[in-house]
Amino acid sequence: MNVVCPGTGAAASRTTVVLADDHLVVRAGMRLLLSQDETFDVVAESSTVAETLQAVQGHRPGVLVLDLTLGGRSSLPVIPEMLSASPGMRILILTMQEDPEFAREALRAGATGYLLKEAAGEELLAAARQVASGATYVQPAMGARLAMTGEAAGGTDVLTGREVEVLSLLAVGHTNQEIARRLYVSVRTVETHRARIRDKLHIRTRAELITAARERGLLT
């Protein structure tokens, strides 16, 4: 995108960025870091899913740096809508969620980068540059975990960490809606986890589900 450099009137090719995080300090740190790189121009910030959608629709940025939880709501289900609002936009997830299943879901939804908040500032810049260039960036440690869980998923009864959580909550009687609220994900994501659990463990009834949870030490 071409923007006018303040104070010069000269056009420069810079990537516009929207920062979406519900912690002001985190956004301030990201803004400071990105503003020191002439590659980027931070044009807006947001702290909720609704604000993020408005910012994306209004600015149509080149890159959206997005936390997976905004104001207590998961942003995962809204990724496709955000991409539709700004065709060609690239989404870099910056989150504390270490579960590789979150990374897999985000990438499946259309994100092109996944980075943990524990990463150094230099890695955030590198990830932003790579995503802006059209490439995909996954933090190396997370990429290794994705590969490992991907191999495990090829087995008949190996569950991911997130699937174990869902199984344990289902076994004690929580509904899909309650699980979604507890895990800060969409109901659809819970339903997907539930379907995968059933397929992997070959279970169809609630009694079989409870038995599977007890066999894995999830019930006392």
| pTM attached to this predicted model | 0.64
Q: What is the pLDDT of residue 219?
A: 64
Residue-wise pLDDT for 64-104, tens only, equals 999 999 988 889 889 999 999 999 999 999 998 888 888 88
Task: Give the integer Cα–Cα distance in Å for 174 and 115.
Answer: 31
Q: Is residue 207 classed as helix, strand or coil in its secondary structure?
A: helix
Q: Who has greater pLDDT, 37 or 11? A: 37
Q: Where are the beta strands (DSSP E) in 151-195?
A: none
Residue-wise pLDDT for 92-141, tens only, equals 999 988 888 888 888 888 999 999 988 888 889 999 999 999 888 888 77
- DSSP state at residue 16: E
Q: Who has greater pLDDT, 81 or 158? A: 81
Q: What is the pLDDT of residue 120?
A: 83
Cα-flanking dihedrals φ and ψ of residue 13, to 5°?
-85, 105
Task: Give the integer Cα–Cα distance in Å for 140 and 99.
Answer: 14
Domains and CATH numbers, the chain: 2-147 (3.40.50.2300), 155-215 (1.10.10.10)
Provide the mean pLDDT of the chain.
Answer: 83
